[in-house]
Amino acid sequence: MSFANWCGVAVLVVCGAGVLSAADEPGFKRLDTGENFEGWKINESPESWSIKDGAFVAKGPRSHLFYVGDDKPFVNFELKVDAMTENNSNGGIYFHNKYQPEGWPKYGFEAQVNNSYKSDPRKTGSLYAVKDVLEAPAKDGEWFTEHIIVKGKHVVIKINDKVVVDYTEPADAKPGNDFTRVVDQGTFALQAHDPGSTVHFKNIRVKRLD
């Protein structure tokens, strides 16, 4: 939705697939249609993904949904994703990664999506295993916006406009063997973590800062 002004009266206008936004976001490009998987590619366990009420729904065995709708890699950017977790659910939003046919994504970083999942103390907004958030800044059953900003070696993660991670990569940082977790370039991915977790993602939009 957006607001128009007719004769001095604010009018609420529906736009997009159920998007709730009080104002336009100049420079942002929508990456999901809310209707199909156009521009996205599922790796293993495609049954873990569905679309409901304009949102990608992750529920099932490990699987990752990669954005493949733009050949130009993302380097510096702002990414906003509206997400909602169900009780005891784990998910993630990856950036600076690349498509891989199976396994946990090796390249780039994961921004955690987890408000009450008991088996992992890293909560929503964590820059996973790099700078972790131990107290959930959002609640199950409620939509929240995860906002990731990357400029050079500086990464900021906001939840509902509140900064929960502010990280500058050290000059001597080196890629890990199992997971690189260094600032680089690449695409985005969403995570289906396990059959007991259900996470909804929608209104995925990005603004390049190159």
Q: How many CB atoms lie within 10 A of CB 124?
A: 27
Question: What does the alpha-carbon distance between residue 154 and residue 109 come to, in Å, rounded to a whole number?
Answer: 13
The pLDDT value recorded for residue 24 is 75
Among 93, 86, 133, 124, residue whose Cα is nearest residue 109: 93
What's the pLDDT score for residue 210? 79
Please report the domains of the chain, with CATH numbers, ordered by start residue. Answer: 27-208 (2.60.120.560)
Angle at 123 between CA 132 and CA 202, to 5 degrees: 120
Provide the pLDDT for residue 158.
Answer: 98
Closest-CA residue to 202 (of 13, 10, 40) = 40
How far is Cα 160 from Cα 166, in angstroms, rounded to an integer?
A: 15
- CB-count exposure of residue 98 (10 Å: 0-12, 13-18, 19+): middle
CA–CA separation, 81 and 202 (whole Å): 6
Nearest partner of 164 among 109, 207, 121, 123, judged by Cα: 123
Cβ–Cβ < 8 Å for 177, 74: no
Distance from C-alpha of 172 to C-alpha of 191, rounded to nearest angstrom: 29
Our CA angle for 29, 31, 32, nearest 5°, is 135
Residues lower than pLDDT 70 in the chain: 1-23
Whole-angstrom Cα distance, residue 183 to residue 153? 6
Query: Quick check: 84 and 52 in contact, CB under 8 A?
Result: no
